[in-house]
Amino acid sequence: MTKNKSLLVLAASLASGACALMPPAEDPVLIKLTDLERRLQNIERIVDNQSLVQLTQQVSSLQRRTDDLQGRAETLEHTASDTGERQRQLYADLDARIQGLESSLRARSAVSVLDGGTLSPGQLPVPGGSDRDNYQAAFELLKEERYDMAATAFGQFLVTFPDSELADNAQYWLAESYYAANHFEQALAAFQVVIKDYPRSRKVPDALLKMGYCNYSLKRWDAARVTLSKVQADYPETTAARLAGQYLRRMETEGV
């Protein structure tokens, strides 16, 4: 464009010498040169604008590619984070299951050692074992219907591990060991401890239900009816409430 302008200026200089005597407004050469200058300026503006448009388009394209790459990077980062979290959860779950199996195996081994023998007061079924090991061993004794040994094991568990997260369950199964052995007075007192000492335990509705059963077995009809009705009132929509209702209907049928 600069070369074109130089040519126009040279042409204008030559024309001005040839037409020095003619008024500028009427000089056809100057008119044409002016027109060419105007057209040249228009063309330059168009070219400049097109360059700006192209530059803008390129910048926009680069911005879109940058946004796309950033989005992909964030997606990959999120996916990697999710994968890592899932792996941690799977590991924790697998570790917990392995620990449970190991505890169960140790408990069964301890129970096998006790076959034909007894568990002395103050003796744990798994001496030196963890709270979970001893809880599981006591539960194995209960499942094998060795109720007296189960009661001893759960009782010693509560003495040795009073702050265990399994303490409320251990107290409940201690009471259940008494109940299964038809020691209803002891069972009633032990179930009462569940309600008194572990009021937030999930075992409370079941403990209250079993208190009703104990009173029924002891022929304390009014106490049984009051306790079973309390289960229905305080813990509706639970299995304990449904079983309490069944027992109440049974009592009504029996006329007690």
Per-residue CA distances from 116 to 29, 151, 211 (Å): 131, 17, 32
pLDDT in tens, 216-233: 999 999 999 999 999 999
CA–CA gap between residue 183 and residue 187 (Å, rounded)? 6
What single letter denotes the amino acid at residue 191? F
CA–CA gap between residue 105 and residue 111 (Å, rounded)? 10
* Sign of the alpha-carbon torsion through 191, 145, 217, 253: positive
The answer, yes or no, to whether residue 18 has pLDDT greater than 90, is no
Higher pLDDT, 85 or 93: 85
Higher pLDDT, 242 or 18: 242
Alpha-helical runs (H) found in 114-183:
131-143, 147-160, 167-180
Mean pLDDT for 171-196 is 98
CA–CA gap between residue 230 and residue 59 (Å, rounded)? 75
CA–CA gap between residue 60 and residue 165 (Å, rounded)? 61
Query: Which of 166, 187, 102, 108 lies closest to 141 in space, CA to CA?
Result: 108
Residue 237 φ then ψ, to 5°: 65, 25
Q: What pLDDT is stored for residue 47 in this prediction?
A: 59
* Tokens standing for residue 59: 């910048």
pLDDT in tens, 51-83: 556 666 776 777 777 777 777 777 777 776 667
Mean pLDDT for 35-52 is 69
Least confident stretch, 75-79, 213-217, 240-244: 75-79
Q: What pLDDT is stored for residue 48 in this prediction?
A: 63
Per-residue CA distances from 80 to 40, 73, 77, 85 (Å): 59, 10, 5, 9
Question: Of 56-65, 88-97, 100-109, 186-195, which has the strongest mean pLDDT?
Answer: 186-195
| Average pLDDT over the chain, rounded to an integer | 81
Q: What pLDDT is stored for residue 19 in this prediction?
A: 47
The answer, yes or no, to whether residue 155 has pLDDT greater than 80, is yes
Q: Which residues of 121-153 are buried (b: 16+ CB within 10 A; e: fewer)?
A: eeebbbeebebbbbbbbbbbbbeeebbebbbbb
pTM of structure: 0.60
- Where does the pLDDT of residue 86 fall: very low under 50, low under 70, confident under 90, or very high at 90 and above? low
